[in-house]
Structure 1
Amino acid sequence: MNSATFRCVFALTLISSLVLVGCGSDNNAEVTQKPKFEIDKDPYPSTYHPAPSVATLITNVTILDGIGSKIENGSVYFDDGKIVAIGADIDVPKTAKIIDGQGKWVTPGIIDTHSHLGVYPSPSVQSHSDGNEMTRPVTAEVHAEHAVWPHDPGFQRALAGGVTAMQILPGSANLFGGRTVTLKNVPDRTMQDMKFPNAPYGIKMACGENPKRVYGNKGGPMTRMGNVAGYRQAWADAQNYQRTWDQYYADYDAGKDPKVPKRDLKLETLVGVLEGEIIVHMHCYRADEMTVMMDVMREFNYKIGSFHHAIESYKIADKLAENNVCSSMWADWWGFKMEAYDTVKENIPMVHAAGACAVVHSDSDLGIQRLNQEAAKAWADGLRAGIEISQAEAWQWLSANPAKSLGIFEYTGSLETGKHADLVLWSGDPFSTYSQAELVFIDGGLIYDRTSPDSWPVSDFELGQVGEGDAK
């Protein structure tokens, strides 16, 4: 056999052996899967622990329960951090602490839907300015909680005004400014120690002048139509990202071994909105823009929890009610820029009277100290205009409605059996400028006692900054 013939026979033999091997292989062998990749949706969990509390009965008080009822000469009993009973005649254990509130009032704690405490803390200096990531129009990946400075003295000032919880937001420079966080207003060492357990995240968005002012000379958007195009493109990108992950999980569940998609923290936050896990809170003044944003909401099927500032909500109160969107408003701020020009002092009561969700908010380290008075101004302006709203109904603007817009109403915002004992004992009618928050309870723990200055929370930052007499 010559060499050419040998090579031919060898090749045929090799091919035959490969065919036989192939025929004997198991084409149905199972794919070995790597572990399924799951995104941790709560990587910065709350470490909040309620302050120590004792079973307490506050009696002989006027009660506004936060959901529209007023109880004269009533009592509220709480134990183990929860409301146990509320009414005119309550039986309690002999061991319960009794507080006689003759001539005083009790309300749910105030909840501020719009605060920048901790991210724009006092003292107001550039090194503390952490509220606006003004680098791109869409910065949905940033979290306000990662900039909250718990030693901001503003938290204690707000506590003295009866504020028991608040939403901390990024600023309004961007179309999407980042995630918000809801805090219990308790003095503590870290943001996580203040973080409201089980409260959903929010995302801050902004309409109108602010984004176009910031980005008009930086490549846009520079117009309101550019703003809307920016929102829509971001939501469309989020939908594509959502489909990518849905396909990954579908392939994995089908027994395949798909490649894990690359994470995008910006789009991850936006997908959280589309999946109903993150609530939109939108800086928006004008009625026409709020209407457009509700159109965009329906186009991409997400939920706006509240328009913030919303000075023209009175013009579209019926549309807000139809879409179940709250308005977080000032009592009488207006006129400081063009989009803030066309308001009326009856804005809040007009929204309420239309059956929409009205909220009084601060957006101010000073205003947060007197939100009860801000609500009182709006209530009185409504009465003068012939809009008959009771004090009991109006208190919803400060507790129940804010809680609903933040997704925490099942826990707080009203004095109902089983809810957190977050409440305030006022020296008198809380709609009076002369009344003060005397006792503030959070989860049943006494966090603030106006009659005991030595017990008042003091920010670590303030220690040594003021004299002993000045502190009091």
Structure 2
Amino acid sequence: MKFGALLAVVAGGMAVTGCAATAAERNTASASSASTKAAEPAKIAFPSTYRAYPSTPTAVTGVTIYDGEGGRIDNGTVFMSGGKINSVGGPDTAIPADVMILDGSGKYVTPGIIDVHSHLGDYPTPSVSAHSDGNEATSPVTPQVWAEHSVWPQDPGFSRAMANGGITSLQILPGSANLFGGRSATLKNVPARTVQAMKFPGAPYGMKMACGENPKRVYGSRSRLPSTRMGNLALNRQTWIDAQAYRDKLDDAKPPKRDLGKETLVGVLDGEILVHNHCYRADELAQIIDMSKEFGYKVTAFHHAVESYKIADILAEEGICSAIWADWWGFKMEAYDAIPENAALLQQAGACVIIHSDDENQIQRLNQEAAKAQADGRAMGIEISDAEVIKWITYNPAKAMGIEEMTGSLMPGKMADMVLWNGDPLSVYSRPEKVWIDGALMFDSNDPKRRPVSDFELGQPGEGDVK
């Protein structure tokens, strides 16, 4: 889809050419979307205005299904209608009359791929300094900033992520310069004029935290706290102490002056905002867990976490996910003890594994990254089924983002976020053939009108209007 066309809009709809829907087709009733939670309360400052694109009742038959929760069905059928998964089963699955049927023989279906760690929109393409909006590196403590206020919906990375990687949902995080980086934004990967129209309805906020080298390097180089790891923890703890004091005063006859940063921290303490903590070394992961227990909050996921394998049993016991790369390592000292068997060892210990990107290119091939991590485990004697590996890039990230009841697996009643692959999704030779979001066909490799393309890619062979 051309974003030049996207900007030619009319009130209440979209005048978009070459996209999944026209303005007349656009769904205008959020109440009809039973796949979302209750309407967001009025107190939300920047509520989601997401509306699902119109969908057509569709059944995909004869396909190999990975359901996202560890299940596999051969010669299976997926039927979706009304924007939701209606039924999933074998060849005898009932399909109503007058439903569009796609023959998926020799192909595979998975839930939509979900990236728990992305900076698309905040560090968009073209990658120039004017677009560098992910790090508010003016203070080590900036919980008051929100990633969504930097997201540029026209980033061509969004359409690339869908077309090449089958990405249907993603979490946009602030950068890792700060101990407290601010709130994240969970998005549906759909073309939109505003970030509010991309915001995943009913998704909780996350908060980005960071430990280790980044904060102490950024602020130590300015001769200010923190310049050491002990400075990191000291400033972390004092910030939580101040947040607790602020929360305690909220019910006073004269409550304290409104503080945006402390509002976010109180949301974490109250369990309403999920913590996503950038952290590499095992000893620091353990220290952050201790700190979370001291102040009564929970870490949802450690990101990057290249040494998670050293404390896999602790992470399993605490129910903390590790959002990791397959094999990135050695680019700084705290990344030197990374091993490619990290995911397999975590899986063997019963811990939650997520393969994430943190990169505008890697988001286009999370399926291949998951396959690499699986192969590294197999090489050391740890066998992990393909169906379980698919969980690393579907259900587990949805769980860490607090949206697993709505998406992340092909279960009746969930959002019909789904990818049809032209081959085994864990093969380097396979690509998305079709991508549905809320049952709407958003990408079709066989249909030029359903291949989203940004203005930045016009003129490339095979893209845009070039013949």
The two structures have a TM-score, normalised by structure 2, of 0.89
1:407 aligns with 2:402: yes
The code of the aligned residue for 2:377 comes to G
TM-fit CA distance, 1:452: 1.3
SS at match of 1:416: coil
Contact 2:246/2:256, CA 8 A, preserved across alignment: no
Q: 1:354 to 1:239 in 2, by over 3 A?
A: same
2:15 corresponds in structure 1 to: none
AA at the equivalent of 2:139? R
Give the counterpart of 2:100 among 77, 97, 107.
Answer: 97
Matched with 2:194 is: 190
* Cross-structure match for 2:456: 462
Instruction: Give the secondary structure class of the aligned counterpart of 1:191.
Output: coil
Residue 447, structure 1, aligned to residue 449, structure 2: no
RMSD: 1.3
Alignment: residue pair count: 422
Superposition deviation, residue 359 in structure 1:
0.2
Q: Does 1:297 align with 2:300?
A: no
1:190 and 1:310 map into 2 onto residues whose CA distance is 33
Task: Supply the AA of the counterpart residue of 2:115.
Answer: D
Say whether the 8 Å CA contact 2:79–2:87 is kept in structure 1: yes
Per-residue Cα deviation, 1:334-365 (whole angstroms, up to 9, x for no partner): 00000000011110111011000000000000
Aligned ranges 1:4-83 → 2 under 5 Å: 41-83=43-85
Whole-Å separation in 2 of the counterparts to 1:435 and 1:213 = 41
What letter is aligned with 1:224? Answer: R
SS in 1 for 2:289: helix
Instruction: Tell me, in whole angstroms, the C-alpha distance in 2 between the residues paired with 1:388 and 1:293.
Output: 31
Asked if the contact 2:453–2:463 (Cα under 8 Å) also holds between the matched residues in 1, the reply is no
TM-score calculated relative to the size of structure 1: 0.88
Contiguous gaps of at least 5 residues in structure 2: 1-40
Cα shift at 1:455 = 2.4
The 5-angstrom pairing of residues 226-245 of structure 1 reads 226-245=231-250
**Aligned partners of 2:461 and 2:330: how far apart in 1?**
41
Whole-Å separation in 2 of the counterparts to 1:467 and 1:401: 36
The Cα shift of 1:466 comes to: 3.0
Cα distance change of structure 1 residues 467 and 327 upon mapping to structure 2, 3 Å threshold: closer
Partner Cα separation in structure 1 for residue 140 and residue 376 of structure 2:
38
Q: 1:59 to 1:469 in 2, by over 3 A?
A: closer
* 2:350 aligned with 1:350: no
Cα deviation per residue 1:389-416 (whole Å; 9 max; x = unaligned)? 1001111100111011000000000011
Asked if the contact 2:71/2:388 (under 8 Å) is kept, the reply is yes
1:145 counterpart (145, 148, 161): 148
What is the CA distance between 1:217 and its match in structure 2? 3.1
Q: 1:314 to 1:45 in 2, by over 3 A?
A: same
Match of 1:203 among 204, 207, 210: 207
For 2:141 and 2:42, locate their aligned partners in 1 and report how far apart those are by CA, in whole Å. Answer: 22
What secondary structure is seen at the aligned counterpart in 2 of 1:194? coil
Question: Identity over aligned residues, as a percent?
Answer: 61
Counting helix residues as a fraction of each chain, which structure ranks higher?
1
Ranges of 4+ aligned residues in structure 1 off by more than 6 Å: none
Q: 2:132 aligns with which of 129, 132, 139?
A: 129
Q: Deviations over 1:294-331 (max 9, x none)?
A: 00011111011100000000110000011110000000
Query: What's 2:29 paired with?
Result: none
From the superposition, tell whether residues 229 and 49 of structure 1 become closer, same or farther in structure 2 (CA, over 3 Å): same
Deviation at 1:468, TM superposition (A): 7.2
Structure 1 residue 168 corresponds to structure 2 residue 176: no
Describe the shift of the 1:50–1:111 C-alpha distance in structure 2 as closer, same or farther (beyond 3 A). Answer: same
1:261 is displaced (CA, Å) by: 2.5
Q: Residues 237 and 41 of structure 1: is their aligned pair in 2 closer, same or farther, counting only changes over 3 Å?
A: farther
Residue in 2 that maps onto 1:307: 302
Aligned to 1:316: 311
Asked if the contact 2:249–2:255 (Cα under 8 Å) also holds between the matched residues in 1, the reply is no
Alignment-mate amino acid for residue 292 of structure 1: Q
- CA separation in 2, counterparts of 1:203 and 1:41? 19
The code of the aligned residue for 2:116 comes to T
Q: Which residue of 2 aligns with 1:3?
A: none
How far 1:151 sits from its partner (Å)?
0.1
Where in structure 1 are there 5+ consecutive unaligned residues? 1-38, 249-257
